[in-house]
Structure 1
Amino acid sequence: MNTHLHITAWVLALILFAVAVMLHKQGNAKGSKIVQMILRLDYLLILYSGGDLIANYFGGDSPLMGEAIAKGIIGIWVIAAMEMTLAKIKKDKPAKGGYIQLIIAVILTFILGFVRLPGGLM
């Protein structure tokens, strides 16, 4: 059940991130700020459900525990990249580095979550 919560929470986070960026680009700073606050609440769901998923690897002698911990750290990097990118956009500074970090971190997280770790697509 926590896997569904986790996937729903990060899909919602990616959508909210895109909406916050679009609202800011359209000049709706207040709407962008509201969406960013909702996004920050969603981060709590992501951290809770992700932490619970990682905790499953500590129960036994899992050979994938290191990869699960790495996915958790990279997942935190995704959240940090989202926040950094939104902060730079809000200050009208170039956010290219934030977008690059976000794309790299999301790709790594997807690879670990859906290809390497159990419960993914492979």
Structure 2
Amino acid sequence: MGFLTDTTHLHITTWVIGIVLFLAAAFMARESKGRKIMHMVLRLFYILIIITGLTLFIEHSSADAMMYGLKFLFGIVTIGMMEMVLVRSKKQKPVTMFWALFAVSLFVTMFLGFLLPIGIVLF
């Protein structure tokens, strides 16, 4: 399983594609068939994001278990908020709070990811 844990490239690729698919699906027409298909593909990417993140967590959490645990938790919350935005907007319910929670959790997840030892050095 070295290809999953040697670098973060696969994990970063999956979450970047996931965010792009999420934004595309979120701004599509509510009742279009394309949105439904895109939502199903996005759910596949949720699973890929979780699998790649879990393998990195298992491999590297001994370095700083609490911070990696927080990043994993915020990553799951981010995925949850993405799903809530799509499902609630389809049902034509208010989604403003979920957009805000998505933005905050995404920021915290990315901040922790870049801050941790196997992340990209930005600051």
**TM, length-normalised to structure 2:** 0.88
Whole-Å separation in 1 of the counterparts to 2:120 and 2:14:
18
- Structure 1 counterpart of 2:37: 34
Whole-Å separation in 2 of the counterparts to 1:7 and 1:21:
21
Q: CA deviation at 1:54?
A: 0.4
Question: Which runs of no fewer than 5 residues in structure 2 stay unpaired?
Answer: none
Percent sequence identity is 37
- Structure 2 counterpart of 1:119: 118
Equivalent position amino acid for 1:71 in 2? K
Question: Which runs of no fewer than 5 residues in structure 1 stay unpaired?
Answer: none
**What SS does the aligned partner of 1:118 have?**
coil
Q: How many residue pairs end up in the alignment?
A: 116
More helix by share: 1
Whole-Å separation in 1 of the counterparts to 2:98 and 2:109:
16
C-alpha distance after superposition, 1:14-66 (max 9, x if no partner): 00001111212xx55211010000000001110110000000135x4x3x111
Q: CA deviation at 1:92?
A: 1.2
Indicate whether 1:8 and 2:19 are aligned: no
Equivalent position amino acid for 1:15 in 2? V
Runs (4+) of structure 1 exceeding 3 A deviation are none
**TM, length-normalised to structure 1:** 0.89
Whole-Å separation in 2 of the counterparts to 1:67 and 1:92:
37
By relative contact order (CA 8 Å, sep 6+), the higher-ranking structure is: 2
- Structure 2 counterpart of 1:22: 27
| RMSD of Structure 2 on Structure 1 (CA) | 1.3
